[in-house]
Structure 1
Amino acid sequence: MATGTGTSRDGVSAAAPPDGPVPRRVRPPRWLDLRLVLGVLLVLGSVVVGARVVTAADATVPVWAASGDLAAGTVLTEEDLVATSVRLDDAAAAYLSTTTRPSGQVLGRAVSAGELLPRAALEPGSDLVQLALPVQAGYVPPSLARGQLVDVYAVADPAAGAGVVSGDVDLVVGGAPVQAVSGRGEGVLSTATTTVQVVVAVRADDAQDVLSAIGGRALVVVVRESAEGPVTATPGSTAPTTAPATAGPTG
């Protein structure tokens, strides 16, 4: 029988080799390991929280804004508005979404360029009509443009200038928004006597009175500094004794 010790060839006793490590059975991985589950939950939680933060930071809505200064009484067209995305939160319902087409509606108050279009600025109904007035180019301010608020005077003789006496100048349209300006020539062919068509908005009931008050006389257009104010037609009102300098001849 073999023993735990032996004798080498030279007579020296040799100790038996130590026992090796006991092999351990390798366990298959457990998919429901608690640490694995906690790690997955942490990752999912981070993704959800990050998505909420990004969504909240980009919670914008597309609404209409004015592309330029528009006076009260302006009948809106597509060119007057530009779509813009802004974050309004609970105030979004107070402004006009791009899903609504406001073309043809009338502004109840002035709106500045870049200002968001509030629903309250639109009049539910309007009795305004567009009245085309022929004006000599010399009596139209060079900067006259759609959306401005103007007064229109009828004069007996535009060539008289400051010499016009009281009673010869009448305010026929007061605080009317300009809807369009056409016929204004440019360059060397443009003269002070070139006829410019200025389209203004007046109440339908006033249109006939305005035309009667003009009575074939020449017209002078004066731009108001402020775009605020109601649209009024005041046929026959006496104007100042001299026409304002902003409407004087340019040529």
Structure 2
Amino acid sequence: MSAPPVADTGLGRGTGDGPAGPVARRVRPPRWLDLRLGLGVLLVLGSVLVGARVVSAADATVPVWSAAGDLAAGTVLEGDDLVAVSVRLDDVAPAYLATSTRPEGRVLSRAVRAGELLPRSVLEEPTGLVQLALPVQAGFAPPGLARGQAVDVYAVADPALGAAGPTGGDVELVVGAATVQAVSGRGDGVLTTSASTVQVVVAVPADEAAGVLGAIGGRGLVVVVREPVDGAGTTD
């Protein structure tokens, strides 16, 4: 008895009983997907590089000294006169004083304004200057008198004592264009009177100190604030 016929599924592998079936092939994505993938990687890398440059540029600041207030030429710097600020200066950074340098005791060769960055070129060594303390009646010193201002100091005759200057005048300039280094003894309470004494410390050349004291001769003093810092010359 013969075997029943078997249906041909077409899956034969060439066993000799019939023709070989089709071979499965791997499906490959279109080549344009490779191009898009490459462009995407390049865009991501480009974004990372640009972001790194932006962050680096934002951090390219240096800490330098800035004036805490208006300071006249001749001011002997103290720590409270300056504040540290971080700014981007690029190629001009060496022209300004970094916070790694302590400028206390140096003298300003010109006036600087509040908030102005401190150039190295305006600093001088304190050669030949002394600080002279002058007693001034509170009523003869401006209420806003402060450190860093440029002042003139006049000696005035006291009619009650009959004091007069060496030249016999009633008013005499004894200190001109001096810089106030400190003001002390001024009260702000209700008990403050015009008879209260204010100590005004100014910087004068050492060889002129004796002449200033001699010119005062026991007379009363009047302090006059000169032109504000904004009006002072700014030439180095």
Find the counterpart in structure 2 of residue 150 from structure 1.
151
Give how far 1:185 is off: 1.4
Structure 2 letter corresponding to 1:217: R
Cross-structure match for 1:88: 89
C-alpha contact 2:180 2:200 (8 A) present in aligned 1: yes
Partners of 1:64 and 1:123 in 2: CA distance: 16
1:72-87 maps to which residues of 2 (within 5 A)?
Answer: 72-87=73-88
Letter in 2 for 1:150: V
TM-score normalised per structure 1: 0.74
Q: 2:204 aligns with which of 196, 202, 205?
A: 202
Provide the rounded CA distance (Å) in 1 between the counterparts of 2:160 and 2:83: 42
The equivalent residue for 2:18 is none
**Aligned counterpart, 2:170:** 168
CA displacement at 1:17 relative to structure 2 = 3.3
- Residues 226, 35 of structure 1: CA spacing in aligned structure 2 closer, same or farther, 3 A cutoff? closer
Quick one: distance in 2 between partners of 1:158 and 1:90? 62
Q: How many angstroms apart in 2 are the aligned matches of 1:45 and 1:126? A: 58
One-letter amino acid of the structure 2 residue matched with residue 176 of structure 1:
A
Structure 1 residues 159 and 75, CA gap change in structure 2 (3 angstroms): farther
Q: Distance in 2 between matches of 1:95 and 1:205?
A: 32
Alignment of 1:1-251 (within 5 A): 5=7, 16-19=8-11, 22-23=23-24, 43-157=44-158, 167-227=169-229, 228=232
Q: Which amino acid aligns with 2:104?
A: S
Gaps of 5+ in 1: 6-15, 27-32, 161-165, 230-251
Contact 2:73 2:111 in 1 (8 A): yes
Q: For the Cα contact (< 8 Å) 1:64–1:117, is it kept in 2?
A: yes
Distance, in Å, in 1 between the alignment partners of 2:90 and 2:128 is 35
Deviation of residue 226 (structure 1)?
3.0
1:148-167 residue CA offsets vs partner (Å, 9 max, x unmatched): 1100000112789xxxxx82
Matched letter for residue 226 of structure 1: P
Q: Is the 8 A contact 2:105 2:126 kept in 1?
A: no
**Alpha-carbon distance, 1:59 to partner:** 1.3
How far has the Cα of 1:124 moved from its partner? 3.6
C-alpha distance after superposition, 1:93-135 (max 9, x if no partner): 1100000000010000000000000001111442211100000
Q: May I ask how many residue pairs the two structures share in their alignment?
A: 209
Kindly state the Cα deviation for residue 54 of structure 1 after the two structures are TM-superposed: 1.8
Shift of 1:39: 6.6
Give me the CA root mean square deviation: 2.9
CA contact (8 A) 1:158 1:218 kept: no
Identity of aligned residues (%): 73
Contact in 2 for aligned 1:180/1:198 (Cα 8 Å):
yes
Q: Judge conservation of contact 2:76–2:126 (CA < 8 Å) in 1.
A: no
TM-score (structure 2 length as normaliser): 0.78
Amino acid at match of 1:103: E
Deviations 1:133-154 (Å, cap 9, x if unpaired)?
0000010000101111100000
